[in-house]
Amino acid sequence: MVDDNVFREVDEELRRERLAKLWELYGVYVVGVAVGVVLLMLGGIWWQNKQISDRQAAGDKFIEALRDVSKGEDKKAEDAFKGLINDSPAGYELLARLHLAASKASSGETGEAEILYKKVALDPSADKILRDYAKLNLAILRLDAATYDETLAALGEFIKPGAMWRGTANEVIALAAYKEGKLDIAKKRYSEIIVEAGAPSALKRRAQVMLDVIATSEATQ
């Protein structure tokens, strides 16, 4: 009787031969796939590190630009914001655009400010809070030229209960109503600001001042 060990050794030898032949045929492909996987992993790590590095660099530039604003170095800050708009991750690009728009508006360059705010307001990739903030500022910039109906149409969604910018939107709509002599509407909006729990105290004071102005105006008519 043949020993079972002999059969086992023969079987193992045959297996080794088959593996050797398979390696001759496909070994180069196996190595190629392995190298490709490693390269993909390394590429993914590099890309993640680059994104982190880019965001950190953009964050440093953004903070430095804000410091320039606080020091009154407006031209330097404007150049920094423009640089971030042209070359920075999406989040910082949007923030830089909003800050540059505010700078343009404060310096009387309302046309350029509108373009910048509109870019953010219409950007589907932007966070809704930023889009709404841009829309609100657009309505403020256009307040002098817009009718009450146009202002209400632009900010109607902002005065719903719980809306983030409700107080400011109510003030803008109230001003538009006051400008056209719609005093009952203006009083209603200002009164809503005063009783709104989350409205800033400065906003409430302005609303009360306007209510007093309207009351004085009505008393003298």
Residue type, 26: Y
Residues 166, 169, 175, 177: is their CA dihedral positive or negative?
negative
156: Cβ–Cβ under 8 A, 6 or more apart, which residues?
none
The alpha carbon torsion through 23, 28, 34, 40 (nearest 10 deg) reads -160
156 near 184, Cβ under 8 Å? Answer: no
Please tell me the number of Cα atoms within 13 Å of 83 on its side-chain side: 14
- The mean pLDDT value for 72-80 works out to 73
pLDDT bucket at 64, cuts 50 / 70 / 90: confident
Q: Residue 7 above 50 pLDDT? A: no
Per-residue model confidence (pLDDT) at position 14: 52
Could you report the per-residue pLDDT of 101-115, keeping only the tens digit for each?
888 888 888 899 899
**Coil, strand or helix at 107:** coil
Average pLDDT over the chain, rounded to an integer: 77
174 near 186, Cβ under 8 Å? Answer: yes
Could you report the per-residue pLDDT of 139-198, keeping only the tens digit for each?
999 998 999 999 999 999 999 888 888 999 999 999 999 999 999 999 999 999 999 888
Distance between CA atoms of 60 and 71, rounded to whole angstroms? 17
Distance between CA atoms of 39 and 20, rounded to whole angstroms? 27
What is the separation of C-alpha 7 from the centre of its chain, rounded to a whole number of angstroms?
A: 72
Distance between CA atoms of 194 and 206, rounded to whole angstroms? 9
Percent of the chain, pLDDT > 90?
33
- Residue 179 has a CB neighbour count (10 Å cut-off) of 15
- Residue 204 has a CB neighbour count (10 Å cut-off) of 16
**Is pLDDT larger for residue 26 or for residue 138?**
138
Could you report the per-residue pLDDT of 196-209, keeping only the tens digit for each?
888 889 999 999 99
Q: Is residue 30 packed enough to be buried (19+ CB in 10 Å), middle (13-18) or exposed (0-12)?
A: exposed
- Give kind and range of the element (H or E) at residue 21: helix 4-70
Instruction: Report if pTM > 0.75.
Output: no
